[in-house]
Chains A and B, each alone.
Chain A
Amino acid sequence: MANTNIKKEKLHPMENLLRMDRIPHIWCPGCGIGNAVSAFAEALDKLELNLDQLCVVSGIGCTGRVAGYIKVDSFHTTHGRAIPYATGIKLGNPKMKVVVISGDGDLVSIGGNHFVHAARRNIDLTVICVNNFIYAMTGGQVAPTTPTPAYTTTSPFGNFETPSNVPQLAEASGAVYVARWTALHMRRLTYSIIDAMQKPGFSVVEVISPCAMYYSRINRLGDGLDMMKFYYDNSVIKHGEPTDNLEIDYQKEIIVGKFVDRERPTFSDALQNWLKGKGG
Chain B
Amino acid sequence: MEKIIEIFKQGIESSKIDKQKICMVSDIPYPSDITDYLGIDFFHTSRGRAIPFATGMKLSNPNLKPVVFIGDFATLGGNHFVHAGRRNMDINVICINKFNYQKIAGEDAPVKFPRIPFLPYASFDEPLNIPHLARSCAGVYVARWTLLHTDKLSESIAESFSKVGFTVIDVISHIPEVLDFYYKHSEEKAGEDTLEVKITPDKKIIVGKFIDRERPTFIDAYNEQLSSVLGDKFIKLE
Contact = CB atoms under 8 A, between A and B. Distances in A.
- State if A and B touch, Cβ cutoff 8 Å: yes
B121 interface: yes
B46 interface: no
A116 interface: yes
A270 B225 contact: no
B79 A112 contact: yes
B79 A113 contact: yes
A157 B230 contact: yes
Nearest to B198: A174
B83 A144 contact: yes
Interface string B117-149: 000010111101100110111100000000000
Contact of B87 (A120, A161, A165, A171): A161
B124 A113 contact: no
A273 interface: yes
B136 A172 contact: yes
B28 interface: no
Contact of A157 (B82, B126, B226): B226
Contact of A274 (B78, B79, B124): B124
A169 interface: yes
Contacts of B77: 113
B137 A169 contact: yes
Chain B contact surface mostly: helix
B136 A117 contact: no
Interface in A150-192: 157-165, 168-169, 171-174
A79 interface: no
Contact of B225 (A112, A144, A149): A149
B201 to A, nearest CB: 13
B124 A161 contact: no
Interface residues of A, number: 33
B124 A273 contact: yes
Given A109-B83, A117-B78, A174 B126 contact: yes
A171 B79 contact: no
A239 to B, nearest CB: 19
Contacts of A144: 83, 86
B76 to A, nearest CB: 8
Contact of A116 (B82, B224, B225): B82
Interface residues of B, number: 32
A121 interface: yes
Interface string A120-146: 111000000000000000000000100
A273 B123 CA distance: 11
A83 to B, nearest CB: 12
B20 interface: no
B133 A116 contact: yes
Contacts of B78: 112-113, 116-117
B124 A271 contact: yes
B92 interface: no
Contacts of A172: 129, 132-133, 135-137
Nearest to B123: A274
B75 interface: yes
A162 B128 contact: no
Given A113-B79, A116-B128, A121-B125, A173 B221 contact: no
Contacts of B225: 148-149, 157-160
B88 A162 contact: yes
Contacts of B79: 110-113, 116
B103 to A, nearest CB: 13
B221 A161 contact: yes
A270 B125 contact: yes
A98 to B, nearest CB: 20
B192 to A, nearest CB: 15
Contacts of B124: 270-271, 273-274
Nearest to B222: A160
B84 to A, nearest CB: 11
B229 interface: yes
A112 to B, nearest CB: 4
Contact of B221 (A111, A160, A169, A271): A160
Given A172-B137, A271-B124, 9 more contacts: A113-B79, A116-B79, A116-B133, A117-B75, A144-B83, A160-B224, A162-B87, A164-B137, A274-B121
8 contacts: A158-B229, A160-B224, A160-B226, A161-B86, A172-B129, A173-B128, A270-B125, A270-B126
Interface of B: 75-79, 82-83, 86-88, 121, 123-126, 128-129, 132-133, 135-138, 215, 218, 221-222, 224-226, 229-230
Interface of A: 109-113, 116-117, 120-122, 144, 148-149, 157-165, 168-169, 171-174, 243, 270-271, 273-274
